Amino acid sequence: MKRALLFFAAATILLAQSNPDWDREFPAFKIAGNLYYVGTADLAVYLVHTPRGNILINTDFPQDVPLIKKSIEQLGFKYSDTKIILISHAHGDHDAATGIVEKETGAKVMIMAQDVPEEESTARGRPGAHVDRVLHDGSVVALGGSKLVAHLTPGHTKGCTTWTMPVRDGGRVLNAVIVGSPNVNAGYILVGNKNYPTIAEDYVKTFAVLKSLPCDLFLGAHGGYFGLKEKYAKMKAGAANPFIDPDGYKAYVAEREQTFRKEWERQKEHPGSPAP
Ligand SMILES: [Zn+2]
């Protein structure tokens, strides 16, 4: 009985968190310069193309790998040219297939130190990847003339990472920001969290970091953060690059911070009551 209830609770959480766009196909496209979108309709995967091979940010769920491969090939690139795998954070919707992509391509997996145990875990739904390089706040990942910086933006996970990269696009350089996640998920405990005592302070630090980053290209781990579908439609219609959205980035970070602070205040008043 207890087992059945636990199973039911776990299934309910999974259902509550899933979204029909997670596994839905989405056109592959160039965002700017050598930065491409190869993810699903919501689970963002980015490809950085260089003369030395490609960097992939996020791998999504195992069932999404065929879509990612198809997207890479539609752009004229080779899945087997994947040299480095990075992630936004160690949750299954972004990294469950990391071990699979690592095995299939021989790419090096580079992960923020605090998310390494989750990345190497072989528990159900975890990727069981071998981490080749442990990253820290400010670590640089370089390949074929492209340079990405890993910013530790913890809270959502202990090693949640926001990636930045200068993208050369025509005659200009655009600062891309790929937000790791500023979100307080259902069930998260911000006050008196025994497994993660500094969680609330970590979110506070994350918002300070996000506010400090210069941003032209506003991107993130989920398409929903930055309006992927709407912006892609505008791009198709011939608008000036809609992903260049510094104001949208600032507004998003401000709104997410307010939402976090409101929930933190609520939990201070009702200790032991997790996020709805
Ligand atoms: Zn997550």
187-219: pLDDT as tens digits: 999 999 999 999 999 999 999 999 999 999 999
d(CA 223, ligand 1 centre) in Å? 13
pTM attached to this predicted model = 0.93
d(CA 75, ligand 1 centre) in Å? 28
Look at residue 3 in the predicted model and tell me its pLDDT: 44
In the block, which residue shows the tokens 């939402």?
Answer: 259
d(CA 89, ligand 1 centre) in Å? 6
Strands (E), the chain: 29-32, 35-37, 46-50, 53-57, 82-86, 108-112, 133-135, 140-143, 146-152, 161-169, 172-179, 217-220
d(CA 185, ligand 1 centre) in Å? 8
d(CA 181, ligand 1 centre) in Å? 7
d(CA 160, ligand 1 centre) in Å? 9
d(CA 28, ligand 1 centre) in Å? 23
d(CA 239, ligand 1 centre) in Å? 31
Distance, first Cα to last Cα, the chain: 25
Letter string b/e over residues 128-161, b meaning 16 or more CB atoms within 10 A of that residue's CB: ebebeeebebebebebeebebbbbbbbbbbbbbb
Q: Using 50, 70 and 90 to split pLDDT, how confident is the model at 239?
A: confident
d(CA 13, ligand 1 centre) in Å? 13
- Integer-rounded Cα radius of gyration of the chain: 18
d(CA 229, ligand 1 centre) in Å? 20
d(CA 5, ligand 1 centre) in Å? 24
Question: CA 63 to CA 141: how far, in whole Å?
Answer: 27
Look at residue 272 in the predicted model and tell me its pLDDT: 84
d(CA 156, ligand 1 centre) in Å? 6
**Pairing state of beta strands 29-32 and 53-57?**
unpaired
Q: Are 132 and 106 in contact (CB under 8 A)?
A: no
Task: Give pLDDT tens digits for 14-52.
Answer: 444 578 899 999 999 999 999 999 999 999 999 999 999
H helix runs in 50-178, sequence order: 65-74, 92-95, 98-105, 116-120
